[in-house]
Amino acid sequence: MSSDYTQQELMIAVASREIRDGELVFVGMRLPIIAYGVARSTHAPNARGLFEVGLMRDRAATTYLGTMGDPPNVTGALWATRMSNVMALMVQGHVDLGFIGGAEVDRFGNLNTSYVGPPEKPRVKLPGSGGGADIAILSRRWVTLMTHERRRLVDRVSFVTSPGHGDGSPGWRKRNGLLGGGPVAIITTLCVFRFPPEGGEAFVDTVHPGTTLAEVREATGWDVSVDSDVAETPPPTEAELREIRLRAAVGAR
Amino acid sequence: MSSDYTQQELMIAVASREIRDGELVFVGMRLPIIAYGVARSTHAPNARGLFEVGLMRDRAATTYLGTMGDPPNVTGALWATRMSNVMALMVQGHVDLGFIGGAEVDRFGNLNTSYVGPPEKPRVKLPGSGGGADIAILSRRWVTLMTHERRRLVDRVSFVTSPGHGDGSPGWRKRNGLLGGGPVAIITTLCVFRFPPEGGEAFVDTVHPGTTLAEVREATGWDVSVDSDVAETPPPTEAELREIRLRAAVGAR
Amino acid sequence: MTMAEAIARFVPDGSTVAMGCALEPLIPFAAGHELIRQGRKDLELVGPISDSLFDQLIGAGCVRRITAAWVGNVSEGLGHCYRRAAEQGVPREIEIHDHTNFSISMALWAAVWNVPYLPARTLLGSDILRTNPRIKAADGLVHIEAVRPDVTILHVQRCDAGGRAHAWGPLGISEEAGLAADRVIVSCEELVDESVTLSDPNRILLPETKVVAVVHEPGGSHPAPVQGFFKRDHALDNAYAEESRTREGFDAWAKRWIFDVPDRLRYMAMVDMDSIRITGRQLSVPANFADE
Amino acid sequence: MTMAEAIARFVPDGSTVAMGCALEPLIPFAAGHELIRQGRKDLELVGPISDSLFDQLIGAGCVRRITAAWVGNVSEGLGHCYRRAAEQGVPREIEIHDHTNFSISMALWAAVWNVPYLPARTLLGSDILRTNPRIKAADGLVHIEAVRPDVTILHVQRCDAGGRAHAWGPLGISEEAGLAADRVIVSCEELVDESVTLSDPNRILLPETKVVAVVHEPGGSHPAPVQGFFKRDHALDNAYAEESRTREGFDAWAKRWIFDVPDRLRYMAMVDMDSIRITGRQLSVPANFADE
C-alpha cells in the first residue's frame, strides 16, 4: 500500500483510471497530461492523445511541457495538422474522453472560464473558453479536475462557458442539440463527484482517504447529495505512483 | 509576317493575348496551357497559373501534359495544396482570368457540358462541370475556345452548366449573385466573339484572316450581330509563333 | 493486407465510395479493378473527376449513383460507359447527382464538420441547381448538403502498417474525403517503417484512426501518375478511350485488363513501366523536427 | 524588409490583425512588440489563444477589440492586462467577441470561402452565444459569422524572399488565418533560397500572392518555441506573468523588453538562447518530387 502520496498524485491516479484502453483522449495540460502518460503505461497502452493545437500522439512526452505545442510533444507525433481537423474528429464523435480545466463548476457540471460578475463589467475576467466549450459540447464524455473550494464549486455558475448538464433536467443536452454526453466526473482535492447517466446533479461518489463528508460539504457551494454508502477513493497503487513520479516533471510548474 | 500558321496556332495566340502581365490565371489543359506559356514568354512574364487539382505555378511546364496533375506540372510548383484552397482564391476574387472548355456555348456565353436533351433521358451525356461552373461563376473574367460549328454555337443551350450572361439581360449576373464578371470572349476557329461590358449577347469582334463574315454566320446557331467595321484578327507574330511551336508538344494529343 | 481482402472486408454492396480524390494523379485504379472483379453492386461513387475510373466502374455495372463533378476519360473527354448508362440504361440505369469541383469539396467538408450543409458562393445561375436534389439556393447562397462516404480509397506514395500515409503533389479533395469517411483504405507505392512516416507528421495525410486497411500495391494508380514514381501512361489512356466506345469493346477491355488478371502484380507485368518510370531524384529539403 | 518597415507599411491603426495562429508555438512576438513600439492604436486582434501576446498588446493600449478564444498567459492562466482592461478599462476599454478554438477557426474558414457564415455544431448551450453578437443559434446549429483579418502575421521556420513559407509542427489555424486575410506578413527563422522552398511545394503554407512582407527575424517567436530551432523560454514566461500583475509592473516590463529595445536583434542579445537552443537533428525523410 502506498500511504505516502500527495493530493495531486491521487487526483492524477483517479484521472488516469478514467481513460480506457484504446480510447482517443482530448488531453489537456498539467495533471491530465500526466494522467494520460500513466494510463498508457499501466492499463491503457493503446490509448491515443489528441491536442487542439493540431496533434495526435501515442507515446506521452516525457519531459516538461509548458504547453501542448512545446517541441517534445511534436517530435514523433502521429499527425501534425490544423486545429480544425482535430475538432473534426471530435464533432464526429471520435473523442471518447476529454479533460477540461475551469475556474468554477456548478452542481450540474457547467464550467465558467469567462466572466465572474456581469460580462459587461466583470468582477474577474477569466481567459475564456479556449477549446473548453468545444470539448464540453462534443466529446463523448469529459472530466474536470479542480481544487475543492467553496468559491470554485458553486451552486450555479453565473456564466456557462462550457456546458455540463445545463439546468440539470434530464435530457437537457439532447434537447439542446449538444452532441457529446457531457461531464461524468469532477475530480477534486477532496472527493470524486459523478453524475447520473441521464445527466443532472453531481453526487459524491468517493471521498479521498483522510477526508470526511463534513469537510466536503463545508467546501462545496451547494447542498451536496451523497450516496448513503459512499466509498473511499482507492489510493494510487504502487505502479500508478511509480509512473506518476516518473512523469511528474512533465506537468510541473 | 507569318502567313504560315494553323487555325489552332492562331487561337492560341489570341488566347495568350487575353492574359495580362501579373495576372493570376485559372489555366485549363490543351490550348490554354500553351497560351499561358506563350504569354509568360512574351508579354506577361509575371503571370501565375492556378490549377484546380491544387497547384500554383509560374513557369509553364515544357513537356507534354496529359492532365494538369501530371508530374511535370508539379515539380517546381509555387504551392501544392488542396483544391478547396485554390477555389478559395477564386471565390475571393483573386483569379483574374479563367479558361473553360465546353461542348456548346450560346449567344449569351452560357456553356453546356452536362446534358444534350432532357437530363432525365439525355440524348448525349456530357462529362459534367468539373471546375467549369466554378470558374464561370467566380473568376473575374473568362474565355472559352471552341471549334466553330453550328451544333456547338447554339441560340440557347438546353442546360446551363457554366453560366455566362444568363438570359442576356443587362446585369443578370449581379442580380443573381454571381461574383465574377463572366465571359469576355469566345475564341473560335473562325472568329473572336466579345461581349458588351454589362453582359448580354456575343458579337463578332474580329474575323480570322481568310474567313468571311458569311462563313461565320453560316456556322453559327444564332443570328450573329456584327460591328459594322469588324476587323481582321491579328495573326500570330513571329515571336508568338516561335513560342507556340516550342510548346506545341505540351498540349498535343 | 491484399487488395482483394481489403475490398472484400470493407466495401460491401451498396457502399458510398470516394475515389479519385486527387483529381488526376494517384487514382486508385487497382482498388477500382478489384471492386469490378469482385462484382460489387449498387455503389454510389463520390469524387471530383476521377480520370476514367468511374467510367470503368459504370461500364462494369457496379454503380447505382454518381456524385461527382465530371465523369469521362482524361484522354478524350467523353466517357463512353457513362454515356451508355445515362442515355440507354446500359448495363444499368444510374442516378446522377451533378456537382462542381468546388461543390463536391464543400459537401465533404460539411461531412467532416458534421453539419447538414455548408453554404457556398458557387453554382448560382447553373442548372445543376435543378438536377441535384442535394444542393439548394437559399439567401443568395447555395446550401450544399453533406456527402459522407462509407469508404474513401486513396493511393499514396508511402504508408506504414499503422495507416500513416505520406502523399505529395496536388491533393485535390483527398483530405476532406478521408476525414469525411467512416473508414479509409490506403494503397501505397512503398510500405515503409513508421520511422519514415513519423519523421514528418505534417505530411501524414489523415489520422490513423480512420484507416482500416493498408495495401502495399506498387503501380496501384496506373495509368494515372505518382509524383516521384511513374508518369502517366498515355498509351493506355488512349486505348481505353478507343476500345470503350462500344459495350462489346468495353467488355473485351475489361476482360483483358481486369477479369483475366488476378491481381495488380500480374497487371503490372502487362504494362510497359520502363517507359514511364521516374528515375530522377528531386528531393524535398528536410525539415528538422528535433526537440532538443 | 525589416519588421519596423513591415509593420509601418502594412498594419495601420484600426486594423484587424490575426496573430498567434499556431496556438502555442510560432507566436509572432517580434511583430507584436513592434506594433507596441510604433504605438499602434485601435487594433482588433484575432486568434485562438496567442500565448501572452494579446495580453501584452492590451496592456500597451493598442487594442480596441479582442476576437479570440482565450487571452491569458500560458504559464499561469489569468491575463493580468486583459483583466485590467475588461474589469477597469485600464489602460483603455476593450470590446470582447468571445470565441472557442473551433468557432474562431470556422469564422476564418467562412472568410476563406467568402461566405457570410458557416454553420457549426459547437457552442450550443454556451453563454458565449449571449455575448458574441456575431454568433447566432439557428436551426439546431450555430451560425458563425465570417472574420476577415486585414493582416495575418505568422512566424515560420523558413521562407524565401518571394513569400513561400515552410512551417512545420502543429499549425493550429495558421492556414485559414492566412487565406482569410487581405494580406500576410511572414517572419522567419531562416531566409532561404527558393530552391529550398520550391523543393517541397506541399510544405508551402500559403500562396505567395497573399504575402506582402517577408521579415528575416531569428528568434521572432521567443519566448514561444520553434520546432527544430529553440524551445520555450519558461523563465521569461514566468517573469511576465509575475511582473504584469500590476499596471506599473507591466509598464516596467514593457519598457525593459520593448520600448528600450530598438529591434529583435537587440532583444535576442538580452535572452539566454543557449539554454533553449535546439541543437539536435531529427530530419524528415525527403519526398521525391522528380517528374522524369
Predicted local confidence at residue A253, as pLDDT: 43
Instruction: Report CA-CA distances (Å) from A17 to A26, A28, A40, A198.
Output: 15, 16, 10, 22
What's the confidence (pLDDT) of residue A61? 82
CA angle C52, B86, C230 (to 5 degrees): 45
Cell digits of residue A9: 498524485
Q: Is D204 on the interface with B (CB under 8 A)?
A: yes
Cβ-Cβ contacts under 8 Å, B88 against chain D: 112-114, 179
Q: Which residue of D has its CA nearest to B87?
A: D113
User: How high is the mean pLDDT of chain A?
Assistant: 94
Asked whether residue D75 carries a pLDDT value surpassing 90, the answer given is no
| Structure confidence at residue B3 as a pLDDT band (50, 70, 90) | low
3-state secondary structure of D258: helix
Q: With an 8 Å Cβ cutoff, are D285 and C196 in contact? A: yes
Task: State the residue for C-alpha cell 477597469.
Answer: D88
| pLDDT at residue B1 in the model | 43
pLDDT higher than threshold 80 for residue C175:
yes
Amino acid at C234: H
**Stated length of chain D:** 292
pLDDT, tens digit (0-9, with 9 covering 90-100), for B112-147: 999 999 999 999 999 999 999 999 999 999 999 999
Whole-number pLDDT of residue C194: 98
Write down the pLDDT at residue A251. Answer: 54
DSSP letter (8 states) at residue A121: S
Mutate to test the interface with A, among D27, D63, D100, D203 (most CBs of A within 10 A): D100
Q: In the predicted model, is pLDDT for residue A49 greater than 80? A: yes
Distance separating alpha carbons of residues A229 and D268, to the nearest angstrom: 61
Q: Which residues of chain B have a CB within 8 Å of the CB of C279?
A: none
In chain B, the N- to C-terminal Cα span, in Å, equals 28
Give me the residues of A, 70-99, that contact D with CB < 8 A.
70-71, 74-75, 77, 80-84, 87, 91
Q: For residue D292, give how far its alpha carbon lies from the nearest alpha carbon of chain A (Å).
A: 30
Give yes or no: B52 in active site. Answer: yes
Cβ–Cβ gap C202/A94 under 8 Å: no
Q: For B73, what's the count of Cα atoms within 13 Å in the CB-facing half-sphere?
A: 31
Average pLDDT over chain D, rounded to whole?
Answer: 97
Quick check: C114 and A75 CB within 8 A?
no
Residues 144-163 in C contacting B (C-alpha not used; CB under 8 Å): none
- Nearest residue in B to C54, CA atom: B127
> What's the pLDDT score for residue A3?
64
Q: Burial of A150 by CB count in 10 Å (0-12 exposed, 13-18 middle, 19+ buried)?
A: exposed
Q: Please say if the pLDDT value at position A1 is more than 70.
A: no
User: Nearest-CA distance from D31 to chain B in Å?
Assistant: 25
pLDDT at position D8 over 60: yes
Contact D109 A83 (CB under 8 A): no
Distance from CA of A152 to the nearest CA of D (A): 15
pLDDT single digits (tens) C235-251: 888 899 999 999 999 99
**Best residue of B81, B83, B140 to probe chain D, by most D CBs closer than 10 Å:** B81
Residue holding cell 501565375?
A: B48
D78 touches chain B (CB under 8 A): no
Return the pLDDT at D69: 97
Contact, D64 vs D93, CB < 8 A? no
Mean pLDDT of chain B: 94
The rounded distance, in Å, linking the Cα atoms of B68 and B73 is: 6
Residue D241, C-alpha cell as written in the block: 506573468
Rounded distance between C-alpha atoms, residue D68 and residue C14, angstroms? 44
The answer on pLDDT for B5 being more than 90 is yes
Task: Give C52→chain A minimum CA distance, Å.
Answer: 30
Q: For a pLDDT cut of 70, what percent of chain C falls above it?
A: 99
Cβ C199–D118 below 8 Å, yes or no? no
Tell me whether A124 touches chain D (CB under 8 Å). Answer: yes
Grid cell 512574351 is found at B42
Q: Which residue out of B9, B18, B23, B52 is catalytically annotated?
A: B52
Helix axes B31-41, B7-18, angle to 10 degrees: 60
Question: pLDDT at position B29, please?
Answer: 80
Q: Which string of DSSP letters, residue by residue, matches A207-247?
A: E-TT--HHHHHHT-SS--EEEEEEEEPPPPPHHHHHHHHHH
Cα–chain center distance at D195: 27
Shortest Cα distance, chain D CAs vs residue B202, angstroms: 30
Q: Which chains touch A (3 or more CB pairs under 8 A)?
A: C, D
What's the mean pLDDT in A234-241?
96
Q: Which residue has the higher pLDDT, C128 or A68?
A: C128
Touch test C–D: 3 Cβ pairs or more under 8 Å: yes
Q: Which of A128, A131, A138 sits opposite D121 (nearest CB)?
A: A138
> What is the ipTM for the molecules in this complex?
0.97
Q: Is C207's CB within 8 Å of A89's CB? A: yes
**Average pLDDT for residues D218-241, to the nearest whole number?**
95
pTM of the model: 0.98
3-state secondary structure of B242: helix
Give me the mean pLDDT over the B58-83 stretch: 91
